[in-house]
A and B are shown apart, each in its own frame.
Chain A
Amino acid sequence: MATYQREVIEFPYCEEVSKYEKIIKIGQGTFGEVFKARHQKTRKIVALKKVLMENEKEGFPITALREIKILQLLRHENVVTLLEICRTKASAYNRYKGSIYLVFEFCEHDLAGLLSNSNVQFSLGEIKEALKQLLNGLYYIHQNKVLHRDMKTANILLTKDGRLKLADFGLARAFSFPKPGQPNRYTNRVVTLWYRPPELLLGERNYTQAIDVWGAGCIMAEMWTRSPIMQGNTEQHQLTLITHLCGSITPEVWQDVDQLELYQSLELPKGQKRKVKDRLKSYVKDQYALDLIDKLLGLDPKTRTSTDEALNHDFFWEDPMPCSLTRMLSQHTQSMYEYLAPRRRIQQNHPPSHPAPPPPRQNAATSKLGLNTASFEKTY
């Protein structure tokens, strides 16, 4: 073994995480632990996400690298801000491999935590404001050719002054618009099952930003139902639930759906009518809201509404107009997160979290993809 002559290496751009003191653990995901922490000197509160490195046989996790790279590119009031990256001391003792932390601006709540607490009540104007911000964030990341690929309430954060932020870019990737004759071949093993759109379940690999719009539709409905609207156990089950809500999946309502890889092999209930508005109307009284949910949950990704169209929908422009979330949130001094929500919810309702790690074939695809991807992604 090499004998190291130097004890400690200097990293002017990567400070030690010990300048923050951890206050409490607020999240636990597949890829890391999240803590609320305070800067020792400035007292600034931040969120620290530790990059889990155990079991990493291939060095620094590629998911974390992607997340960092994408977060560095994105700067928007509705996207969580990555402040810096910190480390623990690197020395010969840990073979120059201390832990790495992503330091984020701190947000008081996540949407899953808020919705699971019945003391939290959103007015119609407040729901509009939250959704407007969510769609604004999505519009922005899509403009920057980034797909989120993990839309769900636990990944939507809210600050106490009423800003909504998209978070968790651990599965995000850059995309390009497919060119004729050159379909993209992304992995379809993304998005937590309950929020996964039908095209992914049917094996589509040439998908678009419409996959995030589906997630936005699920989240929008959840603002009223307060729990995820389609809680499937398996991919087949999830498709069945989708069919029960959105009607049978056929080439009549979804052109060329029969070309998708799994269309023949999965069982798709026949003769189902679309009942989105019907099934949700006992929760959602507002007609415009029902209409927008119906459009966000369009089966055919090609005709599913876009973030742009959604933002122009009457829902956002009819009374009551969107109104600030600050007043409502100021009533809740206690932070609410999915992780801290009562166990009951977590055990019963915790969706099968991330899909298994992408199958190897994705990777061959990724390299092929290199030929027609967006320019900023070229160094991937």
Chain B
Amino acid sequence: MPCWFYEPEDLLNTPSMKDGMDEGTEARYRREGARFIIEAGTAMKLRYDTMATGVVYFHRFYMFHTFKEFPRYRLTQGSLWSPCDVIIVDWSSLFIFGWKSRRNTKKCKDIIRIAKEILPDHHFAAFGDDPKEEIMTYERILLQTIKFDLQVEHPYSYLLKYAKTFKGDKEKIQKLVQMAWTFVNDSLCTTLCLQWEPHITAVAFLYLAGRLSKSDLLDWSGKSTKNKWWESLSEDVSLDIMEDQQILLGCSRKPLHQIDKSPLTSDAEKSKDEPRAKHSKSEVREAHTTASTPPPSKSKSVTIVHDKKQPVQNQCL
């Protein structure tokens, strides 16, 4: 079985980096790729988790192939590779299980039509003379690379599940989940999904949201047996893991040591507007700049499955 989770060292030794690409550039390509998928998915009115799946496929793909190799290998002589060529991999990621199966009346030509609509001409040119053939070729390459492993879980479902175990001020809990939800959205632009299982990410983001909003959860089901709420949710989550810079910095807008001192921020929106803390890892900071939630689509496709009175509706991509 493939393991889709990697150690930090592995992420500094990706195929692209072995091929001479620097860390910052790879992070940028990943971020841009993820953003394309989300933008395109939003335009296609896909569900938030379908898009997230596309993004996960995309991140996994580049643990086996280099950004130089793909899609460079298909370039005609003379044209220079540009990061926007990543688009084709993106579109194929979306095509596989997002587009195709959710709305399988849609044909490959429809996705190409949308690509043409929303992409600038010089980006669309990446699809070559026969865009349909190009997408299908990539679909196949992508499927084989990801081992046809189509079961992808996301932190979203865990957030919803965990939220149900929290007791107390409904509004406060909603805000907490909403903030954590935004962090998950943001984290898609990073390699977080290659580092931590979704349930751990979910707990860590709830924890982070709690700290940022200074609202500690005081009651939850299972409290009688456990000291901390996260211990009731998952056996394998510890404070150490959650404080792991990789998780929190992957998404928080400030370094952890500043979080405690930060003025009380009651919701995600506020924290978004605050000046961003400087951090040595430039790509981390950049990720935050670009990872803002795309405008909530009006389409109903973003309604959440589990709960009718969903607090987080507008937050889901």
Interface positions of A (Cβ within 8 A of B): 1-6, 9-14, 57-60, 62, 65-66, 68-69, 72-73, 85, 87, 90, 95-97, 100, 360, 363-364, 366-367, 370-373, 375-376, 378-380
Q: How far is the CB of A271 from chain B (nearest CB, A)?
A: 43
> B147's contact among A4, A14, A95, by CB below 8 Å, is which?
A14
- Chain B residues with CB under 8 Å of A13's CB are 2, 144-147, 149
Instruction: Tell me the bound Cα distance from A60 to B92 in angstroms.
Output: 11
Contacts A13-B2, A371-B305; A73 near B137 (Cβ below 8 A): no
The residue in chain A whose Cβ has the minimal distance to the Cβ of B48 is: A378
What are 9 A-B residue pairs whose CB atoms fall within 8 Å in the complex? A3-B77, A5-B73, A57-B107, A58-B108, A60-B139, A72-B148, A378-B47, A378-B157, A380-B101
What is the size, in residues, of chain B's interface with A at 8 Å between Cβ atoms?
54
Instruction: Tell me the bound Cα distance from A366 to B98 in angstroms.
Output: 12
- Chain A residues with CB under 8 Å of B64's CB are 10-12
> B140's contact among A12, A60, A73, A367, by CB below 8 Å, is which?
A60
In the bound complex, do residue A97 and residue B105 qualify as a contact, i.e. CB atoms below 8 Å apart?
A: no
Instruction: Tell me the bound Cα distance from A87 to B101 in angstroms.
Output: 22
Quick check: is B43 within 8 A (CB to CB) of the other chain?
A: no
In the complex, given contacts A95-B133, A100-B144, A379-B151, what are 15 additional A-B residue pairs having Cβ atoms less than 8 angstroms apart?
Answer: A1-B130, A2-B74, A2-B129, A12-B64, A59-B100, A59-B108, A66-B101, A69-B97, A69-B150, A72-B149, A85-B147, A97-B137, A367-B301, A380-B50, A380-B97
Contacts A59-B135, A60-B139, A379-B49; A4 near B2 (Cβ below 8 A): no
In the bound complex, do residue B150 and residue A68 qualify as a contact, i.e. CB atoms below 8 Å apart?
A: yes
- Chain A residues with CB under 8 Å of B135's CB are 59
Give 6 closest A-B pairs by Cβ, nearest first: A13-B147, A363-B105, A59-B136, A14-B144, A69-B150, A379-B53
In the bound complex, do residue A373 and residue B100 qualify as a contact, i.e. CB atoms below 8 Å apart?
A: no
In the bound complex, do residue A73 and residue B148 qualify as a contact, i.e. CB atoms below 8 Å apart?
A: no
Question: In residues 98-119 of chain B, which contact A (Cβ within 8 Å)?
Answer: 98, 100-108
The residue in chain A whose Cβ has the minimal distance to the Cβ of B75 is: A2
Quick check: is B96 within 8 A (CB to CB) of the other chain?
A: yes
The residue in chain A whose Cβ has the minimal distance to the Cβ of B301 is: A370
Instruction: Tell me the bound Cα distance from A172 to B135 in angstroms.
Output: 26
- Chain A residues with CB under 8 Å of B96's CB are 60, 65
Question: In residues 148-194 of chain B, which contact A (Cβ within 8 Å)?
Answer: 148-153, 157
Instruction: Tell me the bound Cα distance from A355 to B173 in angstroms.
Output: 49
Q: How far is the CB of B164 from chain A (nearest CB, A)?
A: 13
Contacts A2-B75, A14-B148; A65 near B101 (Cβ below 8 A): yes
Quick check: is B239 within 8 A (CB to CB) of the other chain?
A: no
Q: How far is the CB of A9 from chain B (nearest CB, A)?
A: 6
- Chain B residues with CB under 8 Å of A85's CB are 147-148
In the bound complex, do residue A11 and residue B144 qualify as a contact, i.e. CB atoms below 8 Å apart?
A: yes
Q: How far is the CB of B5 from chain A (nearest CB, A)?
A: 15
- Chain B residues with CB under 8 Å of A59's CB are 95, 100, 108, 135-136, 139-140
Instruction: Tell me the bound Cα distance from A60 to B101 in angstroms.
Output: 11
Interface positions of B (Cβ within 8 A of A): 2, 47, 49-50, 53, 64, 69, 72-77, 95-98, 100-108, 128-130, 133-137, 139-141, 143-153, 157, 300-301, 303, 305-306
- Chain A residues with CB under 8 Å of B102's CB are 366-367, 370, 380
Instruction: Tell me the bound Cα distance from A295 to B160 in angstroms.
Output: 39
Q: How far is the CB of B203 from chain A (nearest CB, A)?
A: 17
> A57's contact among B47, B53, B108, B128, by CB below 8 Å, is which?
B108
> B97's contact among A1, A65, A360, A367, by CB below 8 Å, is which?
A65
In the bound complex, do residue B49 and residue A378 qualify as a contact, i.e. CB atoms below 8 Å apart?
A: yes
The residue in chain B whose Cβ has the minimal distance to the Cβ of A7 is: B73
Most interface-central of B100, B104, B145 (chain A CB within 10 A): B104
- Chain B residues with CB under 8 Å of A367's CB are 102-103, 301
In the bound complex, do residue B144 and residue A6 qualify as a contact, i.e. CB atoms below 8 Å apart?
A: no
Instruction: Tell me the bound Cα distance from A21 to B95 in angstroms.
Output: 33
The residue in chain A whose Cβ has the minimal distance to the Cβ of B147 is: A13
- Chain B residues with CB under 8 Å of A97's CB are 136-137, 140
Instruction: Tell me the bound Cα distance from A4 to B134 in angstroms.
Output: 12
Instruction: Tell me the bound Cα distance from A2 to B129 in angstroms.
Output: 8
The residue in chain B whose Cβ has the minimal distance to the Cβ of A367 is: B103
- Chain B residues with CB under 8 Å of A379's CB are 49-50, 53, 97-98, 150-152
Instruction: Tell me the bound Cα distance from A360 to B104 in angstroms.
Output: 8
- Chain B residues with CB under 8 Å of A1's CB are 128-130
Instruction: Tell me the bound Cα distance from A59 to B110 in angstroms.
Output: 13
- Chain B residues with CB under 8 Å of A60's CB are 96, 136, 139-140, 143
Most interface-central of B129, B137, B157, B306 (chain A CB within 10 A): B137
In the bound complex, do residue A378 and residue B95 qualify as a contact, i.e. CB atoms below 8 Å apart?
A: no
In the bound complex, do residue B108 and residue A4 qualify as a contact, i.e. CB atoms below 8 Å apart?
A: no
- Chain A residues with CB under 8 Å of B101's CB are 62, 65-66, 366, 380
The residue in chain B whose Cβ has the minimal distance to the Cβ of A363 is: B105
In the bound complex, do residue A73 and residue B74 qualify as a contact, i.e. CB atoms below 8 Å apart?
A: no
- Chain A residues with CB under 8 Å of B107's CB are 57-58
- Chain A residues with CB under 8 Å of B147's CB are 13-14, 85
In the bound complex, do residue B103 and residue A72 qualify as a contact, i.e. CB atoms below 8 Å apart?
A: no
The residue in chain A whose Cβ has the minimal distance to the Cβ of B146 is: A13
In the bound complex, do residue A375 and residue B305 qualify as a contact, i.e. CB atoms below 8 Å apart?
A: yes
Q: How far is the CB of B145 from chain A (nearest CB, A)?
A: 6
